[in-house]
Amino acid sequence: MNTASRPSLKTVLIASGVVLTLAMGVRHGLGFWMQPISQANGWTRETYSLAMALQNLMWGVFGPFAGMAADRFGTMRVVIVGAISYMAGLVWMATVSQPTLFIIGSGVLIGLALACTAFGAISGIVGRSAPPEQRSWAFGISSAAGSFGQFLMMPIEQQLISAVGWQNAFFTLAALVVAAMIPMAFWLREPPVTHSGGAQQSIGEAFGEAIGNRSFWLLLAGYFVCGFQLVFIGVHLPAYLKDQGLMNPNIAVTALALIGLFNIFGSYYAGKLGGKFAKRHLLSAIYLSRAAVIGLFLLAPLSAWTVYLFAAGMGVLWLSTVPLTNGIIAGIFGVKHLSMLAGMVFFSHQVGSFLGAWLGGFLYERMGNYSAVWIITIALGLLAALINLPIDERAARRTVAAS
């Protein structure tokens, strides 16, 4: 098969954008189900938090394998598997009331679904469809699609819960995911990669090259922090606001939607700036800015408007790490095994996500508040700002020789 049969960059961005919009939009709204499910089943917040944590961890565990499958067998097949798994996971969450089964089943099914439909699996076809000078920008567009999903789906999910109940809301989303994702998957068909030189590198060689690269490990460490911060805020912010006396649920809905809205611009411009400036410096600035925004939020008098300002500030920084991180990976290692390598880095992100979701519930049950976890998020942000500075963005010697 020749490159003439490869889908255009525009087609890839539109189809992958729809998939990412739903994958990330539904996932970001799962925090809205914490209180109704916990109340209906007589659970503490720790039970639902553990389920969310396991989802994120399994997303990371499955990520490298989903990426490997996307690189080898095509993104289309992987997305179809992900859509079916997403549907099954949402139905599982709606129908299973035994805590252990709920945690394990939803964790595995939703985790697999996200590994097959979110950034790791999608990054390979985006990177291979874009010329090098547009690659960072294309990653920014993809990240913006995920952010648009959060902006779009937050109010929809909250209204579904209010209108039809939390169980029927899950059923509705399950049907929507399958009906929209599977048709889009057929626009993500691509021929085998046929680049010269570096294309002959095996999966094992690509894996060994990555784990022997110091900058790869620095990316892993930084992405761990990203996962911790985002998932703690996404899962626990609605409950935190109620604990602080902001009982109107629309405040949390609006805040999470604003995060998605502002990150449309944040992700796009992060990708655009990544084509002009050192990506490691931009990553460091993002983590430092996150620490500052969180600190100011905790120090300011709490009101609906300070919540909205916090959401806007975090929104600009929310997924803006994705195009820069994927851009560094593609720049160092090339694009043949990009989905697999992005999945490896994202595994670290999801270990952080697991701890952010679980530790929030664990420490809340032990201490009665979220103060300790907020402090941890600030400290980790400062650490990540330092970790990203020494990254070497130059192409690996093997890539240079191949070119």
The reply to whether 379 falls in a domain is: yes
The reply to whether 110 falls in a domain is: yes
Identify the pLDDT of residue 197. Answer: 43
Q: Please, which residues have CB within 8 angstroms of residue 45's CB and are 6 or more apart in sequence? A: 34, 38, 239, 361, 364, 365
Identify the pLDDT of residue 3. Answer: 43
pLDDT in tens, the chain (403 residues): 344 467 888 999 999 999 999 999 898 888 889 889 999 999 987 888 889 888 888 988 998 899 889 988 999 999 999 999 999 999 999 999 999 999 999 999 999 999 999 887 888 899 888 888 888 888 888 888 877 887 888 889 989 999 999 999 999 999 999 999 999 999 998 765 554 444 467 888 888 999 999 999 999 999 999 999 998 998 889 889 988 989 887 898 888 888 888 988 998 999 889 988 999 999 999 999 999 999 999 999 999 999 999 999 999 998 899 899 989 998 999 888 888 898 899 889 888 988 888 888 889 888 888 999 999 999 999 999 999 999 999 988 764 444 3
Q: Which domain, by its residues, includes 237?
A: 3-191+202-392
* Domains contained in the chain, number: 1
Angstrom distance (rounded) from CA 334 to CA 128? 9
Token pair listed for 310 = 């916090």
Supply the CATH number for residue 77's domain.
Answer: 1.20.1250.20
**246 alpha-carbon distance from chain centroid:** 27
The reply to whether 341 falls in a domain is: yes
Q: In this structure, is the dihedral angle defined by the CA atoms of residues 17, 18, 20 and 21, taken in order, positive or negative?
A: positive
Q: Please, which residues have CB within 8 angstroms of residue 367's CB and are 6 or more apart in sequence? A: none
Core vs surface per residue 296-306: b (16+ CB within 10 A) or e: ebeeeeeeeee
Identify the pLDDT of residue 213. Answer: 93
How many other β-carbons are positioned within 10 Å of the β-carbon of residue 379? 12
Identify the pLDDT of residue 353. Answer: 83
Q: Taking every pair of C-alpha atoms in the chain, what is the biggest distance, in angstroms? A: 61
The reply to whether 350 falls in a domain is: yes
Angstrom distance (rounded) from CA 97 to CA 115? 25
Q: Which one, of 232, 260, 21, 8, lies nearest residue 119 by Cα?
A: 21
Angstrom distance (rounded) from CA 364 to CA 34? 14
The reply to whether 302 falls in a domain is: yes
The reply to whether 312 falls in a domain is: yes
Angstrom distance (rounded) from CA 342 to CA 223? 11
Angstrom distance (rounded) from CA 109 to CA 100? 14
Identify the pLDDT of residue 1. Answer: 36
β strands within 157-262, DSSP E: none
The reply to whether 397 falls in a domain is: no
Q: Please, which residues have CB within 8 angstroms of residue 238's CB and are 6 or more apart in sequence? A: 31, 32, 34, 35, 249, 252, 256
How far CA 361 is from CA of 52, 357, 364, in Å, comes to 10, 7, 5
Angstrom distance (rounded) from CA 82 to CA 109? 9
Identify the pLDDT of residue 313. Answer: 96
Residues 318 and 263: beta-carbon distance below 8 Å: yes
Instruction: Report which DSSP code applies to 336.
Output: T
Angstrom distance (rounded) from CA 270 to CA 338? 19
Identify the pLDDT of residue 220. Answer: 94
Residues 206 and 340: beta-carbon distance below 8 Å: yes
The reply to whether 308 falls in a domain is: yes
pTM: 0.78
Residues 174 and 86: beta-carbon distance below 8 Å: yes
Give the chain's radius of gyration (CA, Å). 20
Angstrom distance (rounded) from CA 312 to CA 262? 6
- Measured in degrees and rounded to the nearest 5, phi and psi for residue 301 equal -60, 135
Identify the pLDDT of residue 150. Answer: 74
Q: Please, which residues have CB within 8 angstroms of residue 381's CB and are 6 or more apart in sequence? A: 225, 229, 287, 288, 290, 291, 294
Q: What is the DSSP string of 254-282?
A: HHHHHHHHHHHHHHHHHHHHHTTS-HHHH
Instruction: Report which DSSP code applies to 3.
Output: G
Q: Please, which residues have CB within 8 angstroms of residue 31's CB and are 6 or more apart in sequence? A: 52, 234, 235, 236, 237, 238, 239, 256
Identify the pLDDT of residue 199. Answer: 46
